[in-house]
Amino acid sequence: MIRALLAILFISAIACSPKVIPLKGSYPETPIIQYSDNPVDTVWDHVIDFFAQKGLSIKIVDRSSGLIISDATSL
């Protein structure tokens, strides 16, 4: 009885472990940086519009620190 219970627990633990699937393709190792000659307010408006067009909800926007935090989304 105990062996059967241990076997079930072991199989359950193995079945519930997350699978790691590597992404296909090549991706840059360093961050992608984009510079603009536009005023800061114009760039912020474009970024907020981009989020709205893509249907991404924004939780926090802090223009003074340059912080935008969105909700988790699926790829």
9-67: pLDDT as tens digits: 777 766 666 677 777 888 788 888 888 999 989 998 999 999 899 888 889 989 888 88
Angular region, 25: left φ>0, alpha ψ -120 to 50, beta rest: left
Domain coverage including residue 73: 38-75
- 62 DSSP assignment: E
Tell me if 46 is assigned to some domain. Answer: yes
Tell me if 67 is assigned to some domain. Answer: yes
Tell me if 9 is assigned to some domain. Answer: no
Number of domains within the chain:
1
Tell me if 5 is assigned to some domain. Answer: no
What is the SS3 assignment for 51?
A: helix
| pTM, to two decimals | 0.52
Nearest residue to 44 (alpha-carbon basis) of 73, 68, 60, 71: 68
Unique residue bearing structure tokens 């627990």: 9
